[in-house]
């Protein structure tokens, strides 16, 4: 049975908690998921950038996806990020996500090497054909992965790979995002991955936001999305200001996210090396800044 498109609304790329030995802390992971469900986050993405997925082994990523499916108990949707440096391992994770019954798959463009448009297409074709019953989202993050998906490639993928249903653009270029929107069909979602552009992206036709900051402060994102779709632009603008203030103190940084989560009562451990944890003075400063935050 084919799954419905999960790529809309607020999607939280959930943090991966670690214990003192830098192993996955599944108890903390479950508590974080319960918090996000209680805050009405409709969808999680596991093993993505914010979840330090590319610093995990393939087996760890499988166990993380299994835990997310188990802990959510189908109360909300789960998207599994599958890209690895190796295409073989990417397809292994794709097969695993399909067996788990994940609601969607996300795959960042092939990275590190300088790939041609044809090579990137072949990668996505392999992902899509490995899991033909599951909606797939392209993930464009040129700042990290070096490759930017152009309109010509997106159109080719949409026209030839029917289960590719979305693209996430972690790119501050709104002109490119709008190009994606103009190419997309009605059943294809364009998602924004830059929290500072949540409201502008929605006004250009984006279907939702993938937000690392929503791990800590999901409410402004949920409220902005609902206000926008209810025609309440004043509230939506105020929420965007709150989101910008959150970004200013959390710096879109995994290390800051993890400390902020602990300050908010959900310890998730340190990042995995080579990402360094915050120092004592940074933690103290962040605690003060969070206490001063005024959110809607």
Q: Which of 62, 77, 165, 168 is catalytic?
A: 168
Cβ density class 213-247: b for 16+ within 10 Å, e for less: bbbbbbebbbbbbbbbeeeeeebbebbbebbebbb
Alpha carbon separation from 218 to 85, 89, 242, 266 (Å, rounded): 31, 32, 11, 14
Give the span between the Cα atoms of 238 and 243, in whole angstroms. 9
* DSSP code at position 24: B
Q: Which of 62, 124, 139, 180 is catalytic?
A: 139
Annotation says 168 is catalytic: yes
Residue 55 CB contacts under 8 Å (≥ 6 apart), including other chains:
272, 275
- E strand or H helix that includes residue 178: helix 174-183
The two tokens of residue 76 are: 């909300």
Give the span between the Cα atoms of 205 and 212, in whole angstroms. 21
Give the span between the Cα atoms of 178 and 190, in whole angstroms. 9
Q: Report the candidate in 87, 89, 92, 41 with the shortest Cα–Cα distance to residue 68.
A: 41
Alpha carbon separation from 7 to 108, 139, 161, 242 (Å, rounded): 15, 12, 16, 24
Annotation says 228 is catalytic: no
Active site amino acids? 139, 168
């Amino acid at each position: 049975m084919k799954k419905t498109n999960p790529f809309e609304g607020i999607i939280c790329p959930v943090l991966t908690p670690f214990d003192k030995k830098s192993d996955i802390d599944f108890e903390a992971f479950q508590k974080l998921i319960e918090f996000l469900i209680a805050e009405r986050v409709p969808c999680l993405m596991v093993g993505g950038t914010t979840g330090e997925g590319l610093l995990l082994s393939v087996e760890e990523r499988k166990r993380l996806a299994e835990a997310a499916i188990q802990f959510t108990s189908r109360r909300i949707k789960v998207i599994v990020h599958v890209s690895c440096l190796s295409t073989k391992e990417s397809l292994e994770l794709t097969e695993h996500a399909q067996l788990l019954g994940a609601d969607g798959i996300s795959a960042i463009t092939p990275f590190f090497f300088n790939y041609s448009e044809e090579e990137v297409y072949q990668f996505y074709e392999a992902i899509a054909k490995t899991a033909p019953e599951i909606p797939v989202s392209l993930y464009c993050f040129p700042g990290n992965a070096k490759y930017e998906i152009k309109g010509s490639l997106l159109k080719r993928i949409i026209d030839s790979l029917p289960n590719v249903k979305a693209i996430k653009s972690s790119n501050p270029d709104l002109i490119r995002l709008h190009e994606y929107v103009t190419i997309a069909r009605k059943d294809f979602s364009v998602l924004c991955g830059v929290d500072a552009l949540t409201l502008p992206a929605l006004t250009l036709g984006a279907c939702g936001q993938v937000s690392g900051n929503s791990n800590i402060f999901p409410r402004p994102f949920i409220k902005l999305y609902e206000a926008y779709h209810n025609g309440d632009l004043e509230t939506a603008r105020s929420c965007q200001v709150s989101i910008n203030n959150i970004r200013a103190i959390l710096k879109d940084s995994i290390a800051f996210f993890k400390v902020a989560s602990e300050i908010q009562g959900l310890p998730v451990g340190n990042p995995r090396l080579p990402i360094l944890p915050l120092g004592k003075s940074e933690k103290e400063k962040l605690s003060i800044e969070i206490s001063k935050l005024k959110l809607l």
